[in-house]
Amino acid sequence: MDAFKKKVVIIGGGFAGMKLAKSLDSRLFDVLLIDKVNHHQFQPLFYQVATSQLEPASISFPLRSVFNKQANVQFRLTEVTNIDRAAKKVITTTGDFAYDYLVIAIGCRTNFYGNVNVRNHAFSLKTTYDAMTIRNHVLQNFEDAIAAPAEIKQSYLNLVIVGAGPTGVELAGAFAEIKRNILPKDYHGIDFSKFRIILIEGGKAPLGNMSQKTQTTSAKYLKKMGVELVLKTFVKDYDGQTLTLSNGEQLPTRTVIWAAGVRGRLMEGILPEEVAPHGKRLMVNRYNQLGAESSIFAIGDIAYMETPKYPRAHPQLANVAINQALLLAKNLKQLEQGKAMTPFEYKDLGSMATVGTNKALVDFPHLHFKGPIAWLIWMFLHLMLILGVRNKLVVFVNWAWAYVTKDTSLRLILSRPDDRQA
């Protein structure tokens, strides 16, 4: 590293951390990017990996490859355990790293709201590994259902998704499509009229953060596709075999996918007064600075910034994370040049979700789209966010092939068989 350049340590290689590392002025800054996985994960399409529509390599990008042409960026595969503010060092499992500026971009983790049983037995969908785990489990469930005794067979055929935000709705729609188009051809020994896809939501409608029109349309789409939508209901307990709901109902199921909320990731060195009371996110000012700390910043999902337009902080979207990263890159340069920083202001460009083929919903500030047009908009915008021409092409070809053939041929169970001899 250049002794005359300032050292910027970025924790997290998601949308925010990666964009910041790519955008910082190489003449002024040496960058160290730290993550506990070696790849950027394209979270909006995790559900397609979980439902056997895309391979994980299509939406996961090695971070060393991303930065192989940026000599000022180094990467370390390690986990941060502590922030030593006095020494201006980040403490990790493989060593300590000094910083002039520290940027926390670690995203959020699944929020199980203190329910230990649910945390231990339900599946989350926050990483590529989670998506593969769900794919393996669901496919293995169908293999097991063929030979299962009649009294427990239905537990293999009840798939429950908790949380009807974009992730839950997209998962439910994708499972409904493979139920109709693919699984009956693969598993002749299963009556798929008994395969239930149950979407549970504590609110009064799916996609609760989108427009009323979108909420109504998404509910119609889901019901038409055969998804059982259970509203105003919460999960009380799950022991791995029986799901207990707030209305007293008990569902036998071997598969519960939890998409009901997120909370911040915290580490040693973060002060209690810097943590927002709801969601455990880090409270930052309009420049993404953490409290009164002038050299520590937080961006992306972990950052909780209250503004007149967003008094309850910004939505946890990729576009917010990317824009915060771009502005912070400019602001750090302005700091080094002795200029004032620019406060962050987010312009809401809208939100979107897809329920299935030709069934998407797009809310722009003054326009609402649904159906095939919305689906094309959704596909185009997601393709633009994917890194690399090759990956864009692979994903597009997969989508085109699935659209024409209604098949993907990606249904591999990749769990390790126990072939060790006694």
* CATH architecture of the region 116-260: 3-Layer(bba) Sandwich (3.50)
Identical topology for domains 6-110+262-336 and 116-260? yes
> Residue 420: which pLDDT band, with cuts at 50, 70 and 90?
very low
Is 306's pLDDT higher than 50?
yes
- Mean pLDDT, residues 153-157: 96
Output 407 or 275, whichever has higher pLDDT: 275
**Would you state the pLDDT for residue 217?**
96
Is 422's pLDDT higher than 50?
no
**Would you state the pLDDT for residue 292?**
72
Each residue of 62-106: pLDDT tens digit?
A: 999 999 999 999 999 999 999 999 999 999 999 999 999 999 999
| CATH class of the domain defined by 6-110+262-336 | alpha beta
- Domain-by-domain residue ranges, the chain? 6-110+262-336, 116-260
Residue 287: partners with Cβ closer than 8 Å, 6 or more residues away: 297, 328, 331, 341, 342, 343, 344
Is 328's pLDDT higher than 90?
yes
- Mean pLDDT, residues 110-116: 92
Is 151's pLDDT higher than 80?
yes
pTM flag (> 0.85): yes
Q: SS3 sequence, the chain?
A: CCCCCEEEEEECCCHHHHHHHHHCCCCCEEEEEEECCCEEECHHHHHHHHCCCCCHHHCEEEHHHHCCCCCCEEEEECCEEEEECCCCEEEECCEEEECCEEEECCCEEECCCCCHHHHHHCECCCCHHHHHHHHHHHHHHHHHHHHCCHHHHHHHHEEEEECCCHHHHHHHHHHHHHHHHCHHHHCCCCCHHHCEEEEECCCCCCCCCCCHHHHHHHHHHHHHCCCEEECCCCEEEECCCEEEECCCCEEECCEEEECCCEEECCCECCCHHHECCCCCCEEECCCCEECCCCCEEECHHHEECCCCCCCCCCCCCHHHHHHHHHHHHHHHHHHHCCCCCCCCCCCCCCEEEEEECCEEEEECCCCEEEEHHHHHHHHHHHHHHCCCHHHHHHHHHHHHHHHHHCCCCCCCCCCCCCCCCC
> Residue 291: which pLDDT band, with cuts at 50, 70 and 90?
confident
